[in-house]
Amino acid sequence: MTFPMYDASVPTFTRALGHLAGILQKAADHAVAKNIDPAILLESRLYPDMFPLVKQVQRTTDIAKSGVARLAQTQPPSFEDNETTFPQLIERVRATSAYLETLKPEQFQGAAERVVTWQIGERTKSMQGLLHLQQFVLPNFYFHETTAYAILRHNGVKLGKRDFLGGF
């Protein structure tokens, strides 16, 4: 039995991205309600050497679209990384989900066994598709998504576990 790579990636990411869009909307609403300049939240970080919220969201979407594209052997859309507002970040998240929803399970045939190759800075990395998803894409995606959540929660946005996980 082959591992269902589509099922383990596309629905997982689209669900989580939907939650991320909701979290970002709550942050935008919080800024308005508390009369906080949204730029303060957008540029907040947990520690000085960590990425700010904007970059965390950008990385979350980049990892989802690029990781899945490698598995499906497609080219992901390119985003400019120029978001400066909550509506722009939310649109980026939605655009990523829209791209993922164009992919079909058939495109993932053989992806678990196939070797995928990608660039990290100036380094080239290669891994078997299943390991790529399990050990690189999913952990990186959730690291950046969780960090975005933590930045907003740390800054007083009323968020809870259900905002992150959704309802079951």
Full 3-state SS string of 73-102 = CCCCCCCCCCCCCHHHHHHHHHHHHHHHCC
Q: Give the CA dihedral 121, 126, 132, 138, nearest 10 degrees.
A: 0
109 falls within a domain: no
Domain of residue 89 covers 5-104+118-163
168 within a domain of the structure (yes/no): no
Q: For residue 3, what pLDDT is reported?
A: 83
pTM equals 0.96
- Whether residue 62 is contained in a domain is answered as yes
Q: What angle do CA 139, 144, 147 make, to 5 degrees?
A: 120
Is 76 a member of any domain?
yes
Which phi and psi angles does 50 have, rounded to 5°?
-100, 160
Residue type, 110: G
- In the prediction, which pLDDT does 1 show? 57
Q: Which of 79, 52, 47 is nearest to 66 (CA)?
A: 79
CATH number for 21: 1.20.120.450
Residue 113 lies in a domain: no
Domains of the chain: total: 1
Domain assignment of residue 140, yes or no: yes
pLDDT in the model for residue 2 = 76
**Could you tell me if residue 50 is inside a domain?**
yes
Ranges in the chain, pLDDT < 50: none
Is 112 within the bounds of a domain?
no
| Angle formed at CA 152 by CA 159 and CA 91, multiple of 5 degrees | 95
